[in-house]
């Protein structure tokens, strides 16, 4: 798909840009994808689907992150849900799974990303959390900070609170949760929305 898209669609208009999908369960294939598409003028980064078994901090992926970082490109984690996940088995409606699934997987991965010191290991790698809404971010910032302050020895690579790392990441979501405008305003403030959303 990526080869077809870059060869057939992107040349039609220089304004069209893309992030190429990475098969994160196969690190060697990821490296080949980064090398093959990394210099394409309309490829602006790489993306993975968030619902997967490979943890973001798996050592096999470090070369992939390094290759993307060296190119000055971002990696995006696109929210998805997996209705077959054991935790969602008790949910009998799509709305239930969609409400939690899109948020849950990005929360799992951002938590692992931070507590395993990935922002310190790859300080120039831009990370984007895509399509999982925004309302979860302030909750997670507070929760991770609270846990970190009680157990700093479990995250020895961190030099800042988790919320500080989250404020340096990027978030993209549409639509976003807008029912409570005061909550939206606080969310955007906590996330440094002027530059990060």
Q: Domain with 126 in it: what CATH number?
A: 3.20.20.140
pLDDT value, residue 136: 93
Non-local (6+) Cβ contacts of 129 within 8 A are: 76, 77, 79, 106, 110, 169, 170, 171, 172
pLDDT value, residue 83: 66
Which domain range does residue 10 map to?
Answer: 2-196
Helix axes 181-190, 136-150, angle to 10 degrees: 50
pLDDT value, residue 123: 98
Reported as a single tens digit per residue, the pLDDT across 120-135 is: 999 999 999 999 889 9
Kindly report the pTM of this predicted structure. Answer: 0.91
Per-residue pLDDT band for 159 (boundaries 50, 70, 90) equals very high
Longest CA–CA separation in the chain, Å: 54
Sign of CA dihedral 48, 51, 53, 59: positive
Reported as a single tens digit per residue, the pLDDT across 7-51 is: 999 999 999 999 999 998 899 999 999 999 999 999 999 999 877
Per-residue pLDDT band for 89 (boundaries 50, 70, 90) equals confident
- Quote the CA–CA distance of 90 and 105 in Å, as a whole number: 17
Q: Determine contact, residues 137/190, Cβ cutoff 8 Å.
A: yes
Q: Give the mean pLDDT of the chain.
A: 92
Reported as a single tens digit per residue, the pLDDT across 168-194 is: 999 998 778 888 899 989 989 998 889
Reported as a single tens digit per residue, the pLDDT across 49-85 is: 877 778 999 999 999 999 999 999 999 999 887 767 7
Domain count, the chain: 1
pLDDT value, residue 149: 98
Please confirm whether the linkage preceding 174 is cis (ω < 30° from 0).
no
Least trusted range by pLDDT, from 13-17, 59-63, 103-107, 147-151 = 103-107
């Amino acid at each position: 798909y990526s080869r077809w898209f870059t060869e057939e669609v992107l040349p039609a208009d220089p304004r069209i840009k893309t992030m190429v999908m990475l098969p994160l369960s196969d690190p060697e294939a990821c490296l080949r994808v980064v090398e093959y598409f990394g210099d394409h003028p309309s490829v602006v980064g790489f993306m993975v689907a968030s619902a997967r078994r490979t943890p973001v901090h798996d050592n096999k992926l470090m070369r992939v992150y390094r290759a993307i970082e060296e190119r000055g490109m971002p990696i995006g984690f696109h929210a998805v849900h997996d209705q077959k996940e054991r935790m969602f088995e008790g949910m009998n409606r799509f709305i239930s799974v969609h409400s939690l699934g899109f948020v849950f997987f990005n929360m799992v991965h951002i938590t692992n990303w931070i507590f395993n010191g990935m922002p310190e290991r790859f300080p120039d790698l831009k990370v984007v959390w895509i399509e999982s809404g925004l309302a979860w971010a302030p909750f997670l910032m507070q929760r991770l900070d609270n846990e970190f302050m009680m157990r700093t020895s479990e995250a020895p690579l961190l030099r800042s609170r988790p919320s500080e790392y989250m404020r340096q990441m990027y978030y993209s979501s549409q639509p976003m949760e807008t029912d409570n405008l005061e909550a939206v305003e606080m969310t955007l403030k906590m996330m440094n929305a002027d530059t990060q959303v």
